[in-house]
Amino acid sequence: MKYPNGKKSSSPLSKSKSKPDFSNRGMSLEEDIAATNEYYRVANIAIIHKKPTPIQIVNVDYPKRSAAVIKEAYFKQASTTDFNGVYRGRYIDFEAKETKNKSSFPLSNIHQHQIDHMKDCHKHEGICFLIIKFSVHDETYLLPAHHFFPYWDDQFNGGRKSIPYNDIKARGVLLPFHYQARVDYAKVLDKLYF
């Protein structure tokens, strides 16, 4: 059979034996987390928000009254982590990152001020973690901060500048994709902290 684009379809037998393709399930990790957080809010499970990045607008062009365009802006200050809120009476703070790297997570994806913030929250018994998506493997993991901090600190003492994929698989928890809570990290938090 030929499709309108002129390409032949692959064998129906090979399709039935292959795994389902979930590669386009969500537009991005942050959008999947936003959908999860909205589900948590509506279902009265947790209140978690994406933190806005504080910017200072310097120059705006007004070609039409209804179409203002920001021409120049600067970050007011370094942002902290991506998400924070409250779950089961505990403060939650986490960073979400995607990588196309298949063998490791580059530490350059995180910034020192974010680590400092997470360490401060961790000292005060806040629940801090990373959600890391390996796009190539189509796998998303929750990595508790106490497992992440040693990798971060070790890079400044001659250690690796990345976390091996296998280490994340071993120390993190796989977050399978779900329909409503796409990145259902609350169930993992229940097992790890409650």
CA 95 to chain centre: 6
Contact present, 93 and 79 (Cβ < 8 Å): no
Write out the binding residues: 80, 82, 95, 114
Mean pLDDT computed over 157-167: 97
Write out the binding residues for Mg(2+): 80, 82, 95, 114
Give the whole-angstrom CA distance, residue 42 versus residue 49.
Answer: 13
CA 191 to chain centre: 20
**Structural domain includes residue 66:** no
Mean pLDDT computed over 85-111: 96
Provide the whole-model pTM: 0.76
User: In which element (H, E) is residue 13 found?
Assistant: helix 12-17
For the chain, the straight-line distance linking the first and the last C-alpha, in angstroms and rounded, comes to 55
Q: Which domain holds residue 185?
A: 25-52+78-193
Give the whole-angstrom CA distance, residue 149 versus residue 153.
Answer: 6
Nearest-10 Cα torsion for 52, 82, 32, 98: 130
Give residue-wise pLDDT tens across range 102-111. Answer: 999 999 999 9
Pairing state of beta strands 127-134 and 90-99? Answer: parallel
What's the structural domain count of the chain?
1
CA 109 to chain centre: 11
Give residue-wise pLDDT tens across range 24-41. Answer: 444 599 999 999 999 999
DSSP-derived 3-state class of residue 135? coil
**Structural domain includes residue 148:** yes
Which pair of structure tokens corresponds to residue 54?
Answer: 């504080």
**Structural domain includes residue 6:** no
**Structural domain includes residue 9:** no
**Structural domain includes residue 57:** no
CA–CA–CA angle 47, 126, 173 (5° rounding): 80
**Structural domain includes residue 71:** no
CB-side exposure of 59: number of CA atoms within 13 Å?
2
What CATH number corresponds to the domain at position 91? 3.40.1350.10
Question: Which segments within the chain are labelled E, that is strand?
Answer: 46-50, 55-61, 69-75, 83-87, 90-99, 104-106, 127-134, 139-144, 162-164, 173-174
pLDDT of residue 20 exceeding 80, the answer is no
**Structural domain includes residue 141:** yes
* Percent of the chain predicted with pLDDT > 70: 79
Give the whole-angstrom CA distance, residue 88 versus residue 125.
Answer: 13
**Structural domain includes residue 174:** yes
Give residue-wise pLDDT tens across range 58-81. Answer: 778 887 777 778 777 766 556 688
